[in-house]
Amino acid sequence: MTKQQLIQEIRAKRSFLCIGLDVDLEKIPEHLLQTEDPIFEFNKSIIDATHDLAVAYKPNTAFYEAYGLKGWKSLSRTIDYLNNNHPEIFTIADAKRGDIGNTSTRYAKAFFEDMNFDSVTVAPYMGSDSVEPFLAFKDKFTILLALTSNKGGLDFQVLTDEKGSTLYEHVLQVSSTWQNSQQLMYVVGATRPEYFKKIRKIVPDHFLLVPGVGAQGGDLVSVCDFGLNSDIGLLVNSSRGIIYASKGEDFAQRAREKALELQKEMEIILEKRSL
């Protein structure tokens, strides 16, 4: 998918909502546990109920890996379902991978070719030659961790150099010089709205993937105040707040209601800013 196609989809749906498919067998409705592939059945129902309200889905691969081969099969079926039925949806493998050159190419192939995701999240610690192999794939996006929403995010990411620049600012600056850097997006946690202004100065045009709205306490309006750009430029993710709205047979309908609430908020924000 191209960036223009993503922007078009956001404008058409009046939504920059990403739904996190972090499926935990202990949290899904019991009646699904009787099916052959409960994780896929759950995802399919969530996607069917929300695909007109969201522009992106983001399975976190850890939740699938934890179930071994079965889990990988469920992930594979989920991405196939999305690609076959909703090719207009932007798909994110939230895998936080990263390794040296050749090895990163392997990961890139796994997610971009074998599973045909539109994008994958990548950790920046190992630098240019761990990320550029991902950027070499045309019309695919690499979403680099910049400033994460968790408490430990402050352990190293705000480390400040002699000139007053923090590590996450370096990550934004340096990565902008890498080959095919126009195919980068960045993860910036919604719990840190005070940083968005600084971030937008360094990367005014890139999309930001923003987790942490809802369950983790991030606030949508603050995020938009500083994060939106003329292309909208945000994908705001909600996982638990949507997919676990109910554990009953009405789970998909309740997930839709939660997604609709967020989409409506987004529509109002976009309208106010004539976007």
Catalytic residues: 96
Q: 34 and 249 in contact (C-beta within 8 Å)? A: no
Which of 38, 59, 98, 214 is in the footprint of a second copy by CB under 8 A? Answer: 98
In order, the DSSP letters of 189-254 are: -TT-HHHHHHHHHH-SSS-EEE--BSTT-B-HHHHHHHH-BTTB-EEEEESHHHHTS-SSTTHHHH
Q: State the nearest-atom distance from the C-beta of 1 to a second copy, in Å.
A: 22
215 binds a second copy (CB under 8 A): no
Residues 114-133 close enough to bind a second copy by CB under 8 A: 114-115, 123-131
The H-or-E segment that residue 119 falls in is: strand 119-122
264 binds a second copy (CB under 8 A): no
Which of 29, 38, 59, 153 is in the footprint of a second copy by CB under 8 A? Answer: 153
Q: State the nearest-atom distance from the C-beta of 101 to a second copy, in Å.
A: 7
Q: Which two tokens stand for residue 177?
A: 């010089």
Nearer to a second copy, 26 or 194 (CB): 26
Residues facing 144 on adjacent strands: 122, 186
Q: State the nearest-atom distance from the C-beta of 221 to a second copy, in Å.
A: 23
Residues 169-208 close enough to bind a second copy by CB under 8 A: 170-171, 174
Which of 4, 162, 272, 274 is in the footprint of a second copy by CB under 8 A? Answer: 162
Q: State the nearest-atom distance from the C-beta of 237 to a second copy, in Å.
A: 12
7 binds a second copy (CB under 8 A): no
Q: Which two tokens stand for residue 40?
A: 């896929």
Q: 170 and 156 in contact (C-beta within 8 Å)? A: no
**Residue 65: which residues within 8 A CB-CB, separation 6 or more?**
71, 72
Q: Which two tokens stand for residue 197?
A: 């202004």
Residues 43-72 close enough to bind a second copy by CB under 8 A: 60, 62-63, 65-69, 72
151 binds a second copy (CB under 8 A): yes
Which of 7, 110, 136, 275 is in the footprint of a second copy by CB under 8 A? Answer: 110
**Residue 40: which residues within 8 A CB-CB, separation 6 or more?**
74, 77, 78, 81
246 binds a second copy (CB under 8 A): no
- Please report, for residues 5, 23, 24, 28, 62, the alpha-carbon distance to residue 33 in angstroms, rounded to integers and kept in the order given: 37, 12, 11, 8, 20
The H-or-E segment that residue 120 falls in is: strand 119-122
Name the residues that contact a second copy, by CB under 8 A. 22, 60, 62-63, 65-69, 72-73, 76, 96-101, 103-104, 106-107, 109-110, 114-115, 123-131, 145, 148-157, 159-162, 167, 170-171, 174
